[in-house]
Structure 1
Amino acid sequence: MANRNNIPLKSPVTQKYEFGPWQLTSTKSHILKSEGPERERFDKTLELPQVPEMVFAENILRLEHADGFGVEFNALDALKRVDAHNDPLQVAVAKAWQEARSDCEHIKNVVKPFDWTFSTDYKGTVFGNIKMESTTERIDLEKLKRRDQIMFYDDFLLFEDELSDNGSSMLNCKIRVMPSSFFILLRFYMRVDDVIVRVNDTRIYYEIENNYILREYSSRDKQMKEIKAPINVITDMNQVGPHLTLREEQIEKLIFPTKDLVDNNVS
């Protein structure tokens, strides 16, 4: 929903930070307007019959290596991963959904069903000749708990929707850069009141001496009646995760191209 309170739109604010051979660029701006070139681009690209109420189309985090490869996080690519043809939630928890939210407008949407919770398994947009392969190496969470100096930090939304006052759906991105590493957390949180909670996390970690980035993705959910936690935890995207059931996990190395490969692509 664009500029709902008629607040003057602000120009994008961009921060840049150099981390060794990496250029980190973080841009934050206003909610996507209901019309205009940017909205047309979203409507033409996506098959969704509607987009979230608040889409931050110009909120982008981009990490680009001097050799031209890297990873980016943006709302359009995240929404491409939303199911535009089926309503998987209604299938997964059909009975609970029918009982709890039979008066919701979405349950009557049988003409063109879609995932109206905007659930996405988006893990970032990789560009350049990065090779992705499965690994058993995990991110060292103990290192992340150390009180290292924070050289750069940012935290912003990519999209948010209140699901017609029946819950919440949002995608948030955070980055922090330490003297010898950087860490990114991309977190999707979805709650349909009295029905289900889901958290999809993508964690990205890089240490300056490595020629690869570790990427861990996990998807957790649980029906609300089964969650043994107070409501303030259930409604907090940063606390509810440990109370949910792990459904899927992927651990990958994003391996950088060799110098020879980079040179061949340039020539």
Structure 2
Amino acid sequence: MEVEPEVQDRMLQAAGAQLLPDGRKGLTIHGWEIETQHRPILNSRLLQEWEGKLQTPHLPEMVFGESSLVLKHLASGAKLYFNAFDALKDWKKEGLPPVEVPAAAKWKFRSNPSQQVILDYDYTFTTPYCGSETVDVGQEKQIGSDEGKLSVVWKDCKEQIDMAKLAQKENILFFDEVILYEDELADNGISLLTVKVRVMPSSWFLLLRYWLRVDGVLMRLRETRVNCVFEDGTNPTILRESCWRESTFQALSDKGYPSEASAYSDPSTISQRLPAIKQKNEKLEFVDNK
């Protein structure tokens, strides 16, 4: 439900937050600048440029190449960001084999009926992408030191995001969803990469989700959750959890679940039906490179 502007202003003021100026979408809060950008899909010229940079003739049907989510920690210059190019770069690097589809479905993949069907690449654009991070050149500030250069790196940890606390009722100061790329697999399913962010008075939380459904064949869900609880001090605590799930339609049917693709339109409602095949907990570390 949309909040009245006056109410939103009061909530922002109470939380010590401010909307970004000049029509930008986002806000600043507790030393963070959080911004989303929504741009049109890449035109043919830019698509060709991307094909050259990525060294592939294959890209999703809809690439929102200039859309992004950026979260910048102003005191250190550290920045977390999410975009389609880095995600597709990781897709290309992972190089999964193509998902096998029935012979009848291969006909639907033909762009030209006179051409032979060759599915010799990962046409689902499955990506292991968990986001990008950097420290802005010229803006890095050493935490606890006046010398050296700051860098950031994710390290394995046992700490977990407090999902119970995130589920508690709290004012939403800012929420947005950004589509990075999408492909309908020639009407054989969906391949979709999105990132959602919400900012509360106590923390920010984001969900990067890759969702794949090859109708009648396979479902795949790769999710990355990142959380930062606002606290005193310069060095923020940022946790990241990644979970990969997937299952064939046949395996789901064997467990008594529906086998129709129409039953699986929303990944949020069926994620627990898909067995987890990989999980990882990480914490962002600020490294002093003296």
Alignment TM-score, normalising by the size of structure 1: 0.82
| Match of residue 73 from structure 1 | 82
Mapping for residues 1-267 of structure 1, pairs under 5 Å? 14-35=24-45, 38-66=46-74, 67-83=76-92, 86=95, 88-90=97-99, 94=100, 97-98=101-102, 101-105=105-109, 108-109=117-118, 113-128=120-135, 129-209=151-231, 211-227=236-252, 228-230=256-258, 231-257=261-287, 261=288
CA distance in structure 2 between the aligned counterparts of 1:84 and 1:101, rounded to whole angstroms: 27
Q: Residue 19 of structure 1: CA displacement? A: 1.6
CA distance in structure 2 between the aligned counterparts of 1:33 and 1:58, rounded to whole angstroms: 11
| Match of residue 7 from structure 1 | none
The residue type paired with residue 20 of structure 1 is H
The residue type paired with residue 34 of structure 2 is L
RMSD: 2.2
CA distance in structure 2 between the aligned counterparts of 1:215 and 1:255, rounded to whole angstroms: 11
Q: Residue 221 of structure 1: CA displacement? A: 0.4
CA distance in structure 1 between the aligned counterparts of 2:58 and 2:117, rounded to whole angstroms: 15
CA distance in structure 1 between the aligned counterparts of 2:106 and 2:38, rounded to whole angstroms: 38
Contact 1:205 1:215 in 2 (8 A): yes
| Contiguous gaps of at least 5 residues in structure 2 | 1-22, 111-115, 136-150
Over the matched positions of the two proteins, sequence identity in percent amounts to: 34
SS of residue in 1 equivalent to 2:282: strand
Contact 1:100 1:194 in 2 (8 A): no
CA change 1:100–1:145 in 2 (3 A) is farther
CA change 1:208–1:87 in 2 (3 A) is closer
Q: Residue 232 of structure 1: CA displacement? A: 4.5
SS of residue in 2 equivalent to 1:77: helix
Q: Which has the larger radius of gyration?
A: 2
Contact 1:14 1:28 in 2 (8 A): no
| Contiguous gaps of at least 5 residues in structure 1 | 1-12
Per-residue Cα deviation, 1:19-39 (whole angstroms, up to 9, x for no partner): 21111111111111112xx43
Contact 2:26 2:174 in 1 (8 A): no
Greater mean deviation of Cα atoms: 78-87 or 237-246: 78-87
Per-residue Cα deviation, 1:100-127 (whole angstroms, up to 9, x for no partner): 63434379216xx211000011100011
CA change 1:144–1:232 in 2 (3 A) is farther
CA distance in structure 2 between the aligned counterparts of 1:214 and 1:135, rounded to whole angstroms: 9
Per-residue Cα deviation, 1:241-263 (whole angstroms, up to 9, x for no partner): 11101111111001234xxx48x
CA distance in structure 2 between the aligned counterparts of 1:82 and 1:21, rounded to whole angstroms: 33
Give 4+ residue runs of structure 1 displaced > 4 Å after superposition. 84-87, 230-233
Alignment TM-score, normalising by the size of structure 2: 0.76
